[in-house]
Amino acid sequence: MEAQAASNQVMSTPEFSLDTIDIITPDHYQKNGYPHAEWAWLRKHKPVFYVERPRVDPFWAITKAADIMEISKQPKLWLNGPRLAIFVLDPGETALPPEALPLKHLLNMDPPEHGEYRAILSRYFTPRSIRALEPEVAKITNDVLNDVMDRKECDFVTEISSKVPVAVIAEMLGVPRKDWTMLFRWTNEIIGGGDPEFQRGENPTETFAQARMEMFQYFTDFVAERQKNPTNDVTSIIANAKVKGAPLPTLELLSYLLVLVVAGNETTRNATSGGLLAMIENPEQFRRLKADPTLIKSAVEEIVRWTSPVIQFGRTASQDTAVHGQKIRAGESVCLYYPSANRDEDVFDEPFKFDIGRDPNPHLGFGIGEHFCLGSNLARLELEVIFRELAKRLEYAELAGPVARLRSSFVGGIKHMPIRYQIKPASA
C-alpha cells in the first residue's frame, strides 16, 4: 500500500472558537486553501452559524449538504437577487450600491423571470446537444497538449488547464480566435479582481468595473453584427431571443454573455488544475484511471466533488423561516458552502478520500434545484476529454514548485501550478 497524501487523512478536528473561526477572508483561502478543518468543525458543532465579521454584512453560514439542498429547492422562499454571494470588502474599500454597476443574469434572477431566461439556452446545454461537441473538445485538448509536448516543465494552469475552457466557450459563442486572450483577461479580472495579480485600478471594485465596461463594449458590437447576420452560434441565439414576445433589454443581453464567458472559463479551469493536483497527490488513483478508462465518468464526478470550484453562493429569505431548527428572519442572508457539503460525513463514506471509483456520488459541486449549473454537461464533457487524454498521454507528472492560489473566498482558484512531466504524442 502506498502512503496516502496528507489531504486524504481523515480530518482530525482541531478546536475552533465561534468568535475567531475564519471561513470568509480571501487571504485565508489564498494562504491555506479551502478551510476544510473549519467547515468540518462547523458541520459538527454549529451547522447554521451567524457570522459577524469586519467589512462584511452578517450572514448565516450553512455547511451541511441536507440544509443546502433544502434551501436550494425553494427558490421563491430563498432569493438569489438581493445577495448573490458573500463578499468581504478590502480595508479602505467602500461598497457601491448594486445599481452603480448593474448586471442582470441567470445567477441573480429569481422566479419566474429566471426560468424564462434559462429556457433560452437550456436545450443547447443538454447532454445530447453537448455530446455533439466532443470531437471539437478533443481536438482543442490535443492541440494544447501538443504545444507543451516537447518540454519537461510548464505552468499547468497558464499553459494547459486555462486554455481548453476558454477555447471551448469562445467557439460556442463564435468569438474569433484573435479575441480569445481578451476574453481570458476579462474573466480573470471579474473573478479574480480581489487578487493583486489580476487587479487593475485601486481595488477589486474598480477592476470589476473596468472589465465589465470593456466586455459590454465588445459584446455590444458583436451582438449588433449577429442581429444583422445571425449564425448558429450561441451569441446569435441570445442576440435574437425573445422573452414574453419581446427582444432582451440591453443590460440582460450583455449580462447573459458576460456570465457565459466567466462561468464557462474559471470553474472548469480550476476543476482541471485541482483534479491533476489530486492525481499527483494520489498517484495510485491516476494509475487506476490509466489502467481502466471506463472509470472516466466516476473520476470526473469525484474531481468535481473534490475540487468544488465554486465556494459559495448566497440566498436571502423572502419571509421568516427556519433552517436546521434555527429561525431566520425575512431579509437575512445565508451562505451555501458547497465544498463543505461535498465533504459531509452524513453523505459520503470517507469524505476526505479521493476515490475515482466513488459511486453514487451525490455531490453538490454544480449546485442543485432552480439554479443548478446550466453548463454542467459542458463542464463534464470538457473534464472527461481532458482527463481521458491525460490518462492516455501523460506518462508522469510531479509538482515543480509551489501551487499559487487565488485570493478569493468565492471561487477557489489555482493561479499557477508548475509541473515537471512527460507527455507522449497522441496515438494515431
Partner 1 sequence: MKIVIDPTLCEGNERCANAAPEIFEVRDDRAHLLIERPPARLLDKIRLAVRMCPRQAISIIDDDAQNN
Footprint of partner 1 (CB under 8 A): 69, 72-73, 115, 122-123, 126-129, 360, 362, 366-370, 372-373, 376-377
CB of 297 to partner 1, least distance (A): 9
* Closer residue to partner 1, CB minimum distance, 167 or 172: 172
The helix (run of H) or strand (run of E) holding residue 313 is: strand 312-317
CB of 120 to partner 1, least distance (A): 13
Is residue 315 within 8 Å of residue 334, measured between CB atoms? yes
Q: Is 219 helix (H, G, I), strand (E, B) or coil?
A: helix
Per-residue exposure over 48-75, b if at least 16 CB sit within 10 Å of its own CB, e if not: bbebeeeebbebbbbbbbebbbbbbeeb
* Closer residue to partner 1, CB minimum distance, 373 or 383: 373
* Closer residue to partner 1, CB minimum distance, 82 or 362: 362
CB of 171 to partner 1, least distance (A): 22
* Closer residue to partner 1, CB minimum distance, 128 or 228: 128
CB of 371 to partner 1, least distance (A): 10
CB of 368 to partner 1, least distance (A): 6
* Cβ neighbour number for residue 36 with a 10 Å cutoff: 17
Task: Round to whole Å and give the CA distance between 130 and 128.
Answer: 5
Kindly list the distances between the CA atom of residue 95 and the CA atoms of 102, 202, 205, 406, in Å, as whole numbers in the listed order. Answer: 13, 13, 8, 21
Read off the DSSP letter of residue 324.
T
CB of 128 to partner 1, least distance (A): 6
Q: What share of the chain is helix, strand, coil (3-state, %, to 5)?
A: 50, 15, 35
* Closer residue to partner 1, CB minimum distance, 289 or 373: 373
* Closer residue to partner 1, CB minimum distance, 128 or 178: 128
User: All 3 cell numbers of residue 321?
Assistant: 423561516
CB of 159 to partner 1, least distance (A): 32
Torsion of CA 418, 423, 425, 428, to 10 degrees: -110
Read off the DSSP letter of residue 198.
G
* Closer residue to partner 1, CB minimum distance, 126 or 217: 126
* Closer residue to partner 1, CB minimum distance, 161 or 267: 267
CB of 129 to partner 1, least distance (A): 8
Q: Is 140 helix (H, G, I), strand (E, B) or coil?
A: helix
CB of 322 to partner 1, least distance (A): 20
* Closer residue to partner 1, CB minimum distance, 128 or 244: 128
* Closer residue to partner 1, CB minimum distance, 8 or 376: 376
Q: Which residues contact 198 (CB under 8 A, 6 or more apart)?
A: 188, 189, 192, 207
User: All 3 cell numbers of residue 373?
Assistant: 449549473
User: All 3 cell numbers of residue 254?
Assistant: 450583455
CB of 119 to partner 1, least distance (A): 9
Q: Which residues contact 213 (CB under 8 A, 6 or more apart)?
A: none
Question: According to the 3-state scheme, what is the secondary structure of 358-404?
Answer: CCCCCCCCCCCHHHCCCCHHHHHHHHHHHHHHHHHHEEEEEECCCCE
Kindly list the distances between the CA atom of residue 393 and the CA atoms of 159, 288, 386, in Å, as whole numbers in the listed order. Answer: 16, 14, 10
